[in-house]
A = this chain, B = another copy of it.
Amino acid sequence: MTTQRKPLSTTTRRNEVSRRAILTAAFELVQEVGYARLSIEGIAARAGVGKQTIYRWWPSKGAVLFDAFLMLSERPDGEGSALPDTGDLEADLKTVLRATIEELNDPRYDEPMRALNTEITHDPALAALYAERLDGPMRELKKQRLRSAQRAGQLAGGLNLDVAVDMLWGPLLNRWLQRSGALTPDYADSIVETALNGLRPRREGLRSLP
């Protein structure tokens, strides 16, 4: 896998054009034909590349897919733009979760992301890489926003932020993966509200106390 590509030892004569062609082909193919019909041969053919060039640099179909996502996620120069922070945590979270839903519902990303999830679920090594390179950075942004809210006293002090992130995005992703219900903006709102307030009853009247 192209994990340590940056240093690129002087003796590594890797063809960058082929690399990008392969990743692009993989991403496009999986979105066109679906995960089940995604084949290394197909990727090689579409990329105009020999199969060996894929096997030389990636250990599995999932690794190719992973790098394809990595390439996409690295598009922006400044890399990670922070999550919106208007001071209104609830509104900000709803914005972000609605955006997540939109992406999951986008036919351009739906199949590829399901494919990546499938590979991750069956390959711990890939999962570790995913945690480090893709999920990790994103999760850090989310935790930053939550930390900011915590400082503003909008979140419980002892809160485990990883659990908090799971509470917000877990339900969404699970509903998407298991197709256990429609992913609507309303659902995003419900998740945010319920997560913030908790399942227990809150004494609403007390909120306005001095």
Contacts and interface: CB of A to CB of B under 8 A. Distances in A.
Interface of A: 34-36, 114, 117-118, 120-122, 124, 127-128, 130-131, 135, 146, 153-157, 159-160, 162-164, 166-167, 169-175, 177-181, 187, 190-191, 194-203, 206, 209
Contacts of A179: 120-121, 124, 127-128, 131
Contacts of A127: 178-180
A130 B169 CA distance: 22
B171 A201 contact: no
Contacts of A206: 203, 206, 209
B36 A159 contact: no
Chain A interface helix/strand/loop/mixed: helix
Contacts of A122: 34-36, 114, 118
A63 B154 CA distance: 47
Contact of A197 (B124, B187, B200): B200
Contact of A170 (B159, B162, B172): B172
A200 B153 CA distance: 8
Contacts of A187: 163
A119 to B, nearest CB: 9
Name, among A154, A172, A190, the residue most crowded by chain B CB atoms within 10 Å (CB to CB).
A190
Nearest to A197: B198
A60 to B, nearest CB: 9
Contact of A198 (B118, B196, B203): B196
Contacts of A131: 179-180
A177 B198 CA distance: 24
B153 A201 contact: yes
